[in-house]
Structure 1
Amino acid sequence: MTTLESTAIGEDEIAAFRALHARLGDAVETAVRGKREVVDLVLVSLFAGGHVLLEDVPGTGKTTLARAVAGALGGVSRRVQFTPDLLPSDVTGTSVFDPQSAEVRFRPGPVFANVVLADEINRAAAKTQSALLEVMEEHTVTVDGVGHVVPAPFLVVATQNPIDLDGTYRLPEAQLDRFMIRVSIGYPDAEHELDVLRPGSGAGRVAGVPTVSNPHEVASFGERLGTLHVADPILRYIGELGTATREDSRLRLGASTRGLRALVRCVQVHAAARGRHFVVPGDVQELAVPVLAHRLVLTREALLAGTTTEEVLAEVLSSVAVPRPEAR
């Protein structure tokens, strides 16, 4: 038995994680009702060590979702309202002189939290947006040449309004590629919206989210899930999906290697949440769009034709051969 096989996550741990995942999802749903699929995607990103871009119109519960996740895992939550005059140091922190000790000390910014809500991230200038690149990728903030590690787990939930473009700055491809998952919450269905509309139903909803875990437990499971078995045929399948996007004439930028690695991490968590210690092609097909669609860039001709990256990915998924079941 190889070292990798001997340290791979066991079935008992898978069962424990599945129960934890369900508890977290149930806890978050006490505040964000009727959106379990969206909640599960955010939890996938949390355990996979990635970040989430919530692209939706105002008033759909984006802030509530981020705070509910932080409440359920018992971690620290911070909110940053992105505006054109926001400075990078307002996000990451800065060095200040302490007159009492006559020393220069680092004052941590709001990114030093388990869940960071970057509200309306596309309203800040590119210099401020880029301040998040290092911490999102390496979980470290460097100020005056000194690195400062953020807490684990670390999840950035960024929001942007795709309709209102006044006073906004387009997120560059390099930053979009840092987000593991992009998802929209959408409006609630009639039953759940009626529940929200009842007088008094909204007050204290986030405050009432039960704490069902702790940051150490979440970080530990996230590390262990990285050892979940992914067979070579599945890895080749993911690679072939990436190659197909790069060769598609409607795209001027296909899936990056970082994007494909993110897909591997996500399917590991997704499989474990369903009680499996191995990944199947269905995991890849279910997560390909939320993980890869925002990383693709259409050609001008495809944009004018009204094509979307989701449509391109759907066609790619239908055209690439799926590994046989025995390939597991």
Structure 2
Amino acid sequence: MQDTTMQAETRGLALPDEPDEMDAERFARLTDGILASITQVIDGKPDAVRSALITLLAEGHLLIEDVPGVGKTVLAKALAATVDADVRRIQFTPDLLPGDVTGVSVFNPVQREFEFKSGAIFAHIVIADEINRSSPKTQSALLEAMEEQQVTVDGSSHLLPQPFLVVATQNPLEMEGTYALPEAQRDRFMMRISMGYPDAASEALMLRQRDIQNPLASLDPLVTTEDVRRLIAFARAVHVSPAIEQYAVALAHATRTHPDLRLGASPRATLQLVRAAKVWAALDGRSFVIPDDLRALLHSVFEHRLLATRTAQGQRANSGDAVATVLENVADTVRVPVAGR
């Protein structure tokens, strides 16, 4: 297992052919290879790399928010490069139209009928670059696709390929030329993460590597779309006890009654928290979820969905502060078995 992973890490080569069955050993081998491959490009950001993989295997969508130039798009491209799948990038701009994303119906003069021409959303992995630079009308074109894995044009629905993942990047709202994502759009993202600036050693390594070649060019696909489906199915089978389910519900309910929040976590947020926790547990080599899995993910899964009250904003309190309070209070009032069973 270590030899195979080291090959993927040092040379970017595809892992050898595997049998159709997915067991814990193969799950670990494939996921370790993916993490090692992405780390070749994104050095010093293990949490961000792990979050990207968790989102893919939990069938969610990832929002990467940070200032320009810290590697948001590179992380999205690195994740896409590890999967042998259809990958498309959409550069969101103010003049981008909804039809550019979903597709349009075009009249065929030979057949004398309208036919559907698919848009850029029809791919396994879609990189929505600088998503908040487009108008709200164009942003809304993603709503149905991200929730229902289909698009509807002129009354006809068209299914998207599976697996389907949107990795969106956005600049902070105080940047020039940005539009705030609506609440419905933010709620469809399973996780929001920030890259942050690299440490001095990682930035120096980047200078040496990029001076020779683009590390993305050395990445080869490690898994197929069928492999990803099996990885997803394996993580989905991770056990969640009734006590853990109650704990997840209690965490979500606490945000809905928090005095500093005017919008709490939705039921979709609770569902996605548990799905992400299953993948977290599987990556740790466990077949069951424990409370620490939920706690480790709560900020990235809940924080971007919550809205602080005007009073709280005036006191410089934000949704992250509210999540921290929820973690502290709910952990003291909900009895959860340590072993998760």
Same fold? TM cut 0.5? yes
Residue type at the aligned position of 1:312: A
- Displacement of 1:18 after TM fit? 2.0
The answer to whether residue 181 in structure 2 is matched with residue 171 in structure 1 is yes
Using the alignment, how far apart are the partners of 1:68 and 1:234 within structure 2? 33
Unaligned runs of 5+ in 1: 1-10
Partner of 1:219: 229
1:198 to 199, 203, 208: 208
Residue type at the aligned position of 1:325: V
Using the alignment, how far apart are the partners of 1:320 and 1:69 within structure 2? 34
Kept after mapping to 2: 8 A contact 1:66/1:115: no
Using the alignment, how far apart are the partners of 2:133 and 2:180 within structure 1? 9
Residue type at the aligned position of 2:186: L
Using the alignment, how far apart are the partners of 1:27 and 1:326 within structure 2? 32
Kept after mapping to 2: 8 A contact 1:176/1:295: yes
Partner of 1:77: 87
Cα shift readout 1:255-286 (whole Å, capped 9, x = no counterpart): 11000000010001110011111000110000
The answer to whether residue 121 in structure 2 is matched with residue 111 in structure 1 is yes
Cα shift readout 1:52-104 (whole Å, capped 9, x = no counterpart): 11101111111111111111012222111111211100111111123344442
Q: Alignment partner of 1:29: what SS?
A: helix
- Displacement of 1:326 after TM fit? 5.1
Partner of 2:269: 259
Partner of 2:64: 54
Partner of 2:336: 323
What is the number of equivalent residue pairs in this alignment?
318
Using the alignment, how far apart are the partners of 1:169 and 1:200 within structure 2? 32
Tell me the TM-score normalised to structure 1 length. 0.92
Using the alignment, how far apart are the partners of 1:64 and 1:193 within structure 2? 14
2:170 to 160, 164, 180: 160
Q: Alignment partner of 1:271: what SS?
A: helix
The higher relative CO (CA closer than 8 Å, separation ≥ 6) is in 1
Trace 1:1-328 onto structure 2 (pairs within 5 A).
13-162=23-172, 164-198=174-208, 200-201=210-211, 203-321=213-331, 323-325=336-338, 328=341
After TM superposition, the structure 1 stretch with the greater mean CA deviation from structure 2, 161-170 or 208-217, is: 161-170
Using the alignment, how far apart are the partners of 2:135 and 2:272 within structure 1? 27
After TM superposition, the structure 1 stretch with the greater mean CA deviation from structure 2, 303-312 or 97-106, is: 97-106
Using the alignment, how far apart are the partners of 2:234 and 2:152 within structure 1? 28
Kept after mapping to 2: 8 A contact 1:54/1:183: yes
Kept after mapping to 1: 8 A contact 2:63/2:192: yes
Residue type at the aligned position of 1:288: L
- Displacement of 1:215 after TM fit? 1.1
Distance 1:288 1:114, change over 3 A: same
RMSD: 1.7
Distance 1:202 1:214, change over 3 A: farther
- Displacement of 1:320 after TM fit? 1.0
Share of identical aligned residues, percent?
Answer: 46
Tell me the TM-score normalised to structure 2 length. 0.89
